[in-house]
Structure 1
């Protein structure tokens, strides 16, 4: 296959409908405690209909920095992965072969996301849980590199050093003073990029969307200096684990989507706003605080078809 310099030179022309900077809108729900603070939502879900939220921000520099000899891209995720969905679409737009290493076997029971990948010409490889757990192993990554020569392997969720600059640009787009910024946490790079971009007068609050106290912190600290201490993760609102939801969360998301000017889903954004409502009622924020809530997109993950 020919070399692919167009991956850099035509990255934006291949995806002309990106909406950047993403909107920053006032958020004024009729919730207990909401009048004590001021809230704004950073609508990264509005960046693009498919490459929405933090996925574009995390992929932007990884794609711009691809070696010119790149012949394919390889990455990892589950059957509902927003990361694989976004990356598969980008690879299709760039005419670049994409190999998706998917946890679990969905043959005959493909999710909407997997159907999209197939439609876009992605190569889907189902692996069992034991194999998937090796996704950070040097030996396994070397094996993939031999299987797919001249490929670039992007970590699960796009979480790598290149992602931090793109996330930092999101913080720079918030052109008003604020005290605290809230974001869901799964693979850690988004919270890490935010923490790096903030000055020490501002706080970053991550809402864990999966079980992993200590583990999630380790994912963040692999990217940032130990001296940074203006961030934390609240582990009380994962509702049972990744992609799991309690009856209370499901009811909350349904009501939210009927009443608010934008939609959420129960995997990422739903848990952030679910946490926000309870923290407001508990007076967990200082009176008069200005809080930015990052909507990281991912609505496709809640699709039924």
Structure 2
């Protein structure tokens, strides 16, 4: 068994039969105050905000966004004001995610979906900065060039604990996967499991991110797009059963939006022979467990179907 508290063997029968050693990196435990990949994406962005003398962060996200929750927490921890521009209309009391954001001091403002679609337009961003005051802007999901080096450090941390052949991570905006690519060495590879439907475009986005950050695109990665269970934040009874079974077997709770789909996909691909016998594959638990509170609020325990 690995001696590192963040590294856990996953003795799944399908992996054993395929001759693949499967491990789980618990990035959700590394920084309890700000868990998971969001802290890594924010690391160098927070430094840049300080360098520029910006005392306020402004960002975008959906009503159950891990990113909004992370930015609000980071603001509280680092003494920065935060503004969250939320997709959709305000409907009564805030859900648990947004209530936590507000408790951490984030000022929440809602954008209708037409306005939200303009979030990446420079003119629209300038308008938001004029409206809400000087701020350091962060894109939805926290994915930009400065997010990548913080994630690249994760690959080195894992390598110090175990020699691996592949890292596997859930993909939403592509920032975590792009960052990992910058930290790979030699023959190491990465696999991204898309959490949203029709995710083939993510390869283009990942390549654009690595080109902007390091001047090169990478070929040592794959993107699995068949494990979205209907789309972003969609699910099925099979996915929920898998998450419950995984927790029973390994004592680890996954989330239904990212990490549940990741481990489901990785195990299915192992069974298909995607990884050669003798490989060591490390799946990365990127956190996101705060989403369960809102999930139960919406779905009454998550036993329903669809969204």
- TM-score between both structures, scaled by the size of structure 1: 0.88
Secondary structure of 2:146's counterpart equals: helix
Residue in 1 that maps onto 2:24: 41
Contact 2:18 2:270 survives alignment (8 Å): no
In the TM superposition, 1:165-176 aligns within 5 A as 165-174=149-158, 175=160, 176=162
Aligned residue among 209, 217, 235 for 1:245: 235
Alignment of 1:56-95 (within 5 A): 56-66=39-49, 67-95=51-79
Q: What SS does the aligned partner of 1:257 have?
A: helix
1:144 Cα deviation from its structure 2 partner: 1.4
Which SS does the other structure have where 2:210 is aligned? coil
| Per-residue deviation, residues 198-222 of structure 1 (Å, max 9, x unmatched) | 1241111000000133321122111
Which SS does the other structure have where 1:222 is aligned? helix
Compute the displacement of 1:228 (Å).
1.6
Give the SS at the match of 1:181.
Answer: strand
CA RMSD of aligned residues (A): 1.8
Matches within 5 A, 1:138-149: 138-149=122-133
Q: Which residues in structure 2 correspond to 1:83-122 (within 5 Å)?
A: 83-122=67-106
| Mapped partners of 1:32, 1:103: distance in 2 | 40
Alignment length (residue pairs) = 285
Instruction: Give me the TM-score of the superposition, normalised by structure 2.
Output: 0.88
Q: Tell me the equivalent position of 1:274.
A: 264
Could you tell me how far apart the structure 1 residues matched to 2:237 and 2:190 are? 28
Residue 207 of structure 2: aligned partner: 221
Matched residue SS, 2:230 = coil
Farther-moved stretch of structure 1 (83-92 vs 144-153) = 144-153
Q: Structure 1 residues 34 and 186, CA, compared in 2 at 3 Å: closer, same or farther?
A: farther
Specify whether residues 32 and 54 from structure 1 end up closer, same or farther in structure 2 by C-alpha distance, changes over 3 A only.
closer
Structure 1 residue 109: Cα displacement: 4.7
Corresponding residue SS for 1:65 = helix
Rounded Cα–Cα distance in structure 1 between residues aligned with 2:52 and 2:119: 24
1:127-166 aligned at under 5 Å gives the runs 127-166=111-150
Q: Give the superposition deviation at 1:72.
A: 1.3
Structure 2 CA distance for aligned equivalents of residues 41 and 196 of structure 1: 20
Matching residue of 1:189: 175
Distance 1:109 1:22, change over 3 A: farther
Say if 2:229 and 2:235, in contact at 8 Å, map to a contact too: yes
Q: 2:59 touches 2:83 (CA, 8 Å); kept in 1?
A: yes
C-alpha spacing 1:227/1:79, structure 2 compared with 1 (3 Å): closer
The 2-side partners of 1:22 and 1:158 are apart by: 27
SS of corresponding position for 1:99:
strand
User: Which ranges of structure 1 fall in alignment gaps of 5 or more residues?
Assistant: 1-20
Contact 2:57-2:138 at 8 Å conserved across structures: yes
Deviations 1:159-189 (A, max 9, x none): 0111111001100101121111100011111
8 Å contact from structure 1 (residues 200, 230) kept in 2: no
Other structure's SS at 1:25 match: strand
